[in-house]
Amino acid sequence: MWWKKLGVALLLVVASSQYVQSQQSKVLCYYDAANFLIEGLGKVSLADIDTALPFCTHLVYGYAGIDVETNKAVSRQPNLDLDTGKGNYRAVTQLKTKYPSLKVLLGLGGYKFSEPSIKYLTLLESGAARITFINSVYSLVKTYGFDGIDLEWQFPQNKPKKVRSKVGSVWHGFKKVFSGDSVLDEKADEHREEFTALLRELKNAFRADGFQLGITVLPHVNSSIFMDIPAIINYLDFVNIAAYDQQTPFRNPKEADHAAPLYELSDRVPGNNVDGLVRQWLTSNAPASKLIVSIPTFGRGWKLTSDSGLTGVPPLAADGASSPGPQLQSEGFYSWAEVCAMLPNPSNTALKGAEAPLRKVGDPTKRFGSYAFRLPDSNGEHGVWVSYEDPDTAGNKAGYVKAKSLGGIAISDLSYDDFRGTCAGEKFPILHVINITVARIEPALPMCTHLIYGYAQVDPATNRLSPRNASLELDAGKGYYRDVTSLKSRFPGLKVFLSVGGNRDVMPKGIFQKYLSLLESENARKAFIASAYATLKTYGFDGLDLAWQFPQTKPKRIRAWSGQLWHSFKKLFTGDSILDPKAEEHREQFVSLVRDLKTAFQADQFELMYTHLPHVNHTVFLNVSQLKDNLDYVNVAAYDQQTSVRNPKEADYFAPLYELTDRVPGNSVDGMVNVWSSQGMPLNKIVVGIAAYGRGWKMVEESGTTGIPPVRVEGPSEEGGFTQTPGFYSFGEVCFRLRNYTALSPKSMMDPTLTNVEDPTGRFGPYAFRIPTAKQNGVWISYENPASVGHKAAYVRAKGLAGVSINDLALDDYRGQYFEEKFPIVRALLMNSKPG
């Protein structure tokens, strides 16, 4: 069959902390049904979390409690959960018919309720009470179709401790000699053994039905006191370590600090961090594969005072919990969406007092987490300090889980993630960033013949092909290379290539220089070829894509006929800028590199592709007649003809199918294809690159009111929340900007609907714009949608070309938020590529 479809997947760059995990890793998603009972913006129903479930392996529905009179497990809100009420227990387990691989567990106990631990301890002390409890749990699980339980047992919490310097620690230790320590539980040893008995008896009761049993170690519960880890671990399917709330405004009202650090900070309570808690279980011989790290989707806030200082650097003096937010309406406790709305954005930069934005402080070390603060005003009011989890820090923790080969991640709670997508247009951003990128793109892989993993780089010191991030990609790190090639075992027809270069392998000076220098030396070319071969062979890739960095042509303005005449007249005297004084040598040396690569690959039948990057002049750098026989494909990246970086003053179509009037000749799909076909490249080797994104510019008063391109503009438009790059939007982000949405409050509305202009001719593509006003920035976006890529797929079919490439699968609407199915751009290509 003539048709070849290459899905180009850039797995490392779409989110800064992409997480690749094994298929066996768990993603436990917690949903506290009590949030359904909240009135207002905090109300979260089962329907609201539905779009998150494809990214979860387990859904934990919370929380059942213990009836102190009967020792039975009971619903805390029977009118909501039971069949005699709203029937949520039945509704949540029926979600398994929609998501067959999902396991639904009943959460019992919980943390936020702060129930007296006495009734949990009392139950443990009686064998008869334990039997009653176990029977009631079994009955609930069996009756309503749960797959098991997550036991969040209420043990006494450690006493809060102040952050002390070394001198303070010495003095505190001296005082303890005379005052002693408070005893958490005088019968701790007995309760430890009785908890082991409870888990053993529960597991025995569950075994015949195959129900799962897990526990959550709640914050500030000392596992070494209350849990005999070697004795209980074999009864458990997982152990969820709730490694958050190490510092809260309720436990520590006078001292604000990181609430959920990944690693230990100086002069802090030992072990109060993710790594410390995980190590406690690992050193007690708990299998890493059973340990789950819980990531909070919320932040903790303190009120700052005049004694808090000016830097915001923790720990710092505080005065209890900060004011409640509009969603959770809880002092010192904010959902991620609430935190995001408090960070600087176009709607709050000019606000003052309690509405003024917080100053965000990121964590470049990836060890402790982000925080944000606002100093109190001259009256000592409106000061706030918030420690919070965001997609970046959650990604760091997911990377830690991968590196430690732990069992997975827990999200606590889906209700506190940005489930409406009000922050950046993406629903459940924290959940999504901790999920494996491969899992995101897997629904597209049955539609692809090739998956191109990018991007490797050239090491200028050795001229060898090397990973851009060895700690992520090699076996000694997180093993991304191995993970992506292992997909072939699940998709037998799929071929996986490694791509080197692209637009991301840059140097401080001369983006392309190391690529040209490599070409000039035969020994350098040999070193590159040997390293490329070794990488493909070692990790099981099927081929190499050379996205080679040549100098780009100088940007040219769009000129009318008279302007072109004047420009040509000027060139008689000024000449053109020379891209590369040694272009002819580099042209022939690139032919040698491609020929020698193909020879080295021949015995193993590795394939070789060249990606013709935008604005690389083929007549200067590419000898097509000598390249064509040594390339299996040429991928023509026929997009980014106009971008806000290259053309900051002029917005225009970024990926037209055909040439427009008064534009730069050849800057179109048809123009670039004709370049290769006219010089002898077989049509069945030419692949057309299609972008799954859009390019945006900032419209100004001089832009006019029609939006018809070309348009006078002023640089790139503001960044999107997913791509986080000015003037660059995923297809999902474009869709988000084409529709209104409900924000947390009117003040957080940042991007009303744009005017969308489709292309009925199918020649140039759609665009969307908003005229600037006194209150809103103007924006102009050229983008691809299913209709425009359908026209390009039809063009490929009509020309008899090899196929299309998608750059990038992760930029398509891979969650299906705006269309009925996921990957609408890929599906449109497939639909329009078939003959007939």
Per-residue pLDDT tens digits for 596-634: 999 999 999 999 999 999 989 888 999 999 999 999 999
Residue range 667-672: mean pLDDT, rounded: 94
> Which residues are registered as beta bridge partners of 755?
769
d(CA 121, CA 133): 13
Token readout for 194 is: 């009785």
- By DSSP bridging, strand 333-335 and strand 298-303 are antiparallel
Q: Which domains does the chain have, with CATH numbers?
A: 26-159+185-299+391-438 (3.20.20.80)
The answer to whether residue 321 scores a pLDDT higher than 70 is yes
Helix (H, G, I), strand (E, B) or coil at 558: coil
| Winning range, highest mean pLDDT, from 421-435, 764-778, 806-820 | 764-778
The answer to whether residue 74 scores a pLDDT higher than 70 is yes
The answer to whether residue 590 scores a pLDDT higher than 80 is yes
Quote the pLDDT of residue 569: 44
pLDDT per residue as tens digits for the range 155-175: 998 888 765 555 454 444 444
Quote the pLDDT of residue 758: 94
Quote the pLDDT of residue 17: 26
State the DSSP H helix or E strand holding residue 480, giving kind and residue range, or none if neither: helix 480-485
Beta carbons of 154 and 117 less than 8 angstroms apart: yes
> Which residues are registered as beta bridge partners of 711?
651
Closest CA to 133 of 206, 215, 73, 76: 73
Residue 739 binned pLDDT confidence (cut-offs 50, 70, 90): low
pLDDT per residue as tens digits for the range 636-661: 999 999 999 999 999 999 999 999 98
Quote the pLDDT of residue 765: 96
Proportion of the chain above pLDDT 70, given as a percent: 86
Residue 178 binned pLDDT confidence (cut-offs 50, 70, 90): very low
Beta carbons of 136 and 73 less than 8 angstroms apart: yes
d(CA 187, CA 156): 11
The answer to whether residue 831 scores a pLDDT higher than 90 is no
Proportion of the chain above pLDDT 90, given as a percent: 61
Residue range 408-420: mean pLDDT, rounded: 93
| Winning range, highest mean pLDDT, from 325-339, 345-359, 392-406, 502-516 | 325-339
Residue 250: CB atoms within 10 Å:
14
Beta carbons of 301 and 333 less than 8 angstroms apart: yes
d(CA 138, CA 209): 10
Quote the pLDDT of residue 385: 96
Residue range 141-164: mean pLDDT, rounded: 89
pLDDT per residue as tens digits for the range 242-283: 999 999 999 999 999 999 999 998 888 888 999 999 999 999
Least reliable range by pLDDT among 95-99, 314-318, 435-439: 435-439
pLDDT per residue as tens digits for the range 679-704: 999 999 999 999 999 999 999 999 99
The answer to whether residue 350 scores a pLDDT higher than 60 is yes
What is the distance, to the nearest Å, from the Cα of residue 289 to the centroid of all Cα atoms in its chain? Answer: 23
Quote the pLDDT of residue 446: 85
Beta carbons of 731 and 811 less than 8 angstroms apart: yes
Token readout for 317 is: 């003096």
Beta carbons of 830 and 5 less than 8 angstroms apart: yes
80 by Cβ neighbours in 10 Å (0-12 / 13-18 / 19+) ranks as middle
CB burial of 291-313 (b: ≥16 within 10 Å; e: otherwise) equals bbbbbbbbbbbbbbbeebeeebe
Contacts of range 740-744, beta carbons closer than 8 Å, 24 or more positions apart: 741/420, 741/421, 741/422, 741/425, 742/420, 742/422, 743/341, 743/422, 744/41, 744/326, 744/327, 744/337, 744/338, 744/341, 744/422
d(CA 578, CA 170): 70
Torsion (CA) 797, 799, 802, 804 in degrees, nearest 10: -60
pLDDT per residue as tens digits for the range 59-71: 999 999 999 999 9
Beta carbons of 694 and 781 less than 8 angstroms apart: yes
Quote the pLDDT of residue 749: 31
Quote the pLDDT of residue 159: 84
Q: Which amino acid is at 612?
A: H
State the DSSP H helix or E strand holding residue 437, giving kind and residue range, or none if neither: helix 437-441
Contacts of range 219-223, beta carbons closer than 8 Å, 24 or more positions apart: 219/111, 219/157, 219/243, 219/244, 219/245, 219/246, 220/157, 220/158, 220/245, 220/246, 220/251, 221/155, 221/156, 221/157, 221/158, 222/155, 222/158, 222/184, 223/280, 223/281, 223/284
pLDDT per residue as tens digits for the range 103-129: 999 999 987 645 557 889 999 999 999
pLDDT per residue as tens digits for the range 442-453: 778 888 889 999
pLDDT per residue as tens digits for the range 749-800: 334 578 999 999 999 999 999 999 887 889 999 999 999 999 999 999 999 9
d(CA 23, CA 482): 13
Residue 740 binned pLDDT confidence (cut-offs 50, 70, 90): very low
Residue 508 binned pLDDT confidence (cut-offs 50, 70, 90): very low
d(CA 344, CA 350): 10
d(CA 502, CA 146): 48
Token readout for 142 is: 């069996």
Residue range 713-735: mean pLDDT, rounded: 84
